[in-house]
A and B are shown apart, each in its own frame.
Chain A
Amino acid sequence: MLHVKDLNVSIGETPILNGLTLDVGPGEVHAIMGPNGSGKSTFAHALAGRDGYKIEGTATLDEADLLDMEPEARAAAGLFIGFQYPVEIPGVNNMYFLRTALNSVRRVRGDTEIGARDFLAVAQEAMDLVEMKPDFLNRAVNAGFSGGEKKRNEILQMAVMEPRLAVLDETDSGLDIDALRIVASGVNALRGPERSMIVITHYQRLLEYIRPDFVHVLVDGRIVESGDHKLALHLEDHGYADFVNHDLNDAPERSLSGAAR
């Protein structure tokens, strides 16, 4: 599925990621945790092809060389980013946006485009997943949405786009407990043997709802520790201090050969 090897990313002269290596198999859910500024979001956007990054290393999704593709081609290849700060697009109807997005990737994949009427059914199913009212589709994309609505809209888009790999960048930030539950149950409903996810988060809280197969700790642009969900619990109790100092003596006993295969 996703193979990332020795990924180095810098913005200007500032290195952000330093030799990040990560493999994600089909159907797996990986959590990436780490302190502010450790490079979590940069990792997501480097995969997606945002402008302004200097990149070395490799990243392939289903054999496709992501780093060599335009952002829209990466989307068509099955990559979806749940944005930490979803962008507002005034005047553009949410339903129209969703349908244009879906048909854009379908066109590239050689699938037939979905008409407005058929799309309504697709959208309705996705709406139920995130418990949204129908008027949600008739509003402008993210314009005037509350923080929780924006995040739910991201999950709605994910449900419609049916990606191979979804990278959810701090989808839990700014959510109250009810919204968190809705978002998490949406994500869980979309888990499947053919879909992998990378969940980027600060807090263990989200992982109580979305149980990851693997947890990685990202510090100073590289993965310094990998484990199962118990690692997240350790972080909850002890913070990142153990890892920030690159001193792993206090870390829980476990094999480092686990997830970062």
Chain B
Amino acid sequence: MSEALQEIKELTDAAYQYGFSTDLDTDIAPPGLTEDTVRLISSKKDEPGWLLEWRLKAFEAWKSMEEPDWAKLEINPIDYQALSYWAAPKQKPVLDSMDDVDPDIREMFDKLGIPLHEQKMLSNVAVDAIVDSVSVTTTFKKTLAKAGVIFCSFSEAVQDHPELVREHLGSVVPVRDNYFASLNSAVFSDGSFCYIPAGVRCPMELSTYFRINAMNTGQFERTLIIAEDDSHVSYLEGCTAPQRDENQLHAAVVELVAKDRAEIKYSTVQNWYPGDENGVGGIYNFVTKRGRAHTDAKISWTQVETGSAITWKYPSVILQGDRSVGEFYSVALSSKRQQADTGTKMIHIGADTTSSIIAKGISAGHGQNTYRGLVKVLRSAKNARNYTQCDSLLLGSECGAHTIPYIEVKNPSARVEHEASTSTVGEDQLYYCRQRGMTEEDAMSMIVNGFCREVFDELPMEFAVEAQRLLSVSLEGSVG
């Protein structure tokens, strides 16, 4: 192994920063998944009958389904009966102010660099903090309410705005959509809910911060964002988890509804625990994310995926309305023994619909990175346009990068472009930077960040800085 390769290895084997766990008093259900489990969750949350019915329908569907095996992933068998489907930090049921947040939880978020104290917030971001799938607090609720924006936990939305939830839940990702989405629909515990009224431009960035803390629990969050006509919202999510030796299942569902001329920008910085360099432990991140864009609406997904042992995730846009726009910008890093099979689906239904896809895959260590993307143009989608660009960067000689595009075009007026490239961080580039005085570590970080530039440019400012730092940390190590 050359010196540069050796150093890349050291860089990418760096320790995970967020691996601590917090000793929280947790309300946890016994392991196992039956119809009774679904009923228990629903009753714990005091849900209306229609929602229990909906969950049970999903559970019936799930029982008849098989785990998907088409992805380029090696997954240890998951024993769904060994998992616990309900874990919640015990605390007072109602929060009047931030001071009521459990001090242990506050300390945990402080340690993660997420201030829950509104006075201490540096930036104009409202946060919904979710621990083990239960929302513990949401900041800036009052400010948002003045603008008519509803931003709360999913459970609160079910109680306070049942008509909105009932109308839209499952409208983009139906209960029978896929194995993990059906499982989520049956047992989801909490998540974020967001409603932007017609004509409103949300006055601040909304964000959800997910933290897995408990052991041996599955994590099933549900996020629903509804943007009414002519509204606009930018939404961010971040995720971390403690370092544990067993794999933990995280199967979330996110549904976005962008009505006429609305715009939703959804950004993710995913940093779940990736497992160690031997592939022990780490989160299984099996997530279904999809948006429906109505006439002249725009949905934009941006993701920076650096964590998880396995990522299985294809944020998609159904371009239903004429002239609707879908975008997907992605950076996925697989180092150590991480595997990522991720990409997007752009389903063109309306006329003059446009989608663009920019996917950057970085593979290091023994990481395996697969881009899998579908561009589907239906007969109705006259003059549909798609541009796809997939770039892979290989750091080292034992990792892999794979690009698997699927293109299905039923309307001859469509124009679909696909570009792909694979490159390595050259020793020439490192040497050039070092001759200019930079350390090898700084040079590597600069080159990799440069590779991701087009995607980082799409992130809101607060997250762009965070993403760059995260990428550097993920590649950081004991050089020299």
Binding site for B on A (CB under 8 A): 48-51, 70-72, 74-76, 80-81, 83, 86-87, 89-92, 97, 100-102, 104-105, 108, 140-141, 157, 161
Residue of B nearest to A104 (CB): B437
Tell me, in angstroms, the Cα distance from A154 to B35 when the chains sit together.
69
Contact A105 B437 (CB under 8 A): yes
B438 at the interface (CB under 8 A from A): yes
Contact B438 A104 (CB under 8 A): yes
Tell me, in angstroms, the Cα distance from A75 to B440 when the chains sit together.
13
A105 CB contacts on chain B under 8 angstroms: 437
Residue of A nearest to B451 (CB): A91
Shortest CB-to-CB span from A141 to chain B, Å, is 8
Contact A90 B451 (CB under 8 A): yes
Centre residue among A71, A80, A97 by max chain B CB count within 10 A: A71
Shortest CB-to-CB span from A154 to chain B, Å, is 10
Contact A87 B436 (CB under 8 A): no
Which of these, B432, B435, B440, B450, contacts A90 with CB under 8 Å? B450
Contact B431 A50 (CB under 8 A): yes
Tell me, in angstroms, the Cα distance from A90 to B446 when the chains sit together.
10
Apart from the given pairs A51-B427, A100-B438, A101-B433, 6 other A-B contacts in the complex at a CB distance below 8 Å: A91-B453, A92-B446, A92-B453, A97-B436, A97-B446, A104-B439
B4 CB contacts on chain A under 8 angstroms: 51
B199 CB contacts on chain A under 8 angstroms: none
Residue of A nearest to B443 (CB): A72
Which of these, B431, B438, B442, B446, contacts A51 with CB under 8 Å? B431
Contact A87 B3 (CB under 8 A): no
B480 CB contacts on chain A under 8 angstroms: 70
Residue of A nearest to B4 (CB): A51
A50 CB contacts on chain B under 8 angstroms: 431
A140 CB contacts on chain B under 8 angstroms: 450, 453
Contact size class for B?
Answer: 20 to 34
Interface code B113-148, partner A: CB below 8 Å = 1, 0 otherwise? 000000000000000000000000000000000000
Contact B453 A101 (CB under 8 A): no
Contact A100 B446 (CB under 8 A): yes
Shortest CB-to-CB span from A12 to chain B, Å, is 14
Contact A71 B450 (CB under 8 A): no
A89 CB contacts on chain B under 8 angstroms: 429, 432-433, 446-447, 450
Give the dominant DSSP class at B's interface.
helix
B426 CB contacts on chain A under 8 angstroms: 87
A90 CB contacts on chain B under 8 angstroms: 450-451, 453
Q: B410-451: which have CB < 8 Å to A?
A: 426-429, 431-440, 442, 446-447, 449-451
Tell me, in angstroms, the Cα distance from A157 to B447 when the chains sit together.
18
Contact A75 B450 (CB under 8 A): no
Q: List 16 A-B residue pairs with CB atoms under 8 Å apart, sorted by A's residue number.
A: A48-B431, A49-B435, A71-B434, A74-B435, A75-B436, A81-B435, A83-B432, A83-B435, A87-B428, A87-B432, A89-B429, A92-B449, A101-B433, A104-B437, A104-B438, A104-B442
A92 CB contacts on chain B under 8 angstroms: 446-447, 449-450, 453
B440 CB contacts on chain A under 8 angstroms: 72
Shortest CB-to-CB span from B475 to chain A, Å, is 15
B453 CB contacts on chain A under 8 angstroms: 90-92, 140
Contact A70 B434 (CB under 8 A): yes
A86 CB contacts on chain B under 8 angstroms: 432
B434 CB contacts on chain A under 8 angstroms: 49, 70-72, 75
Residue of A nearest to B425 (CB): A89
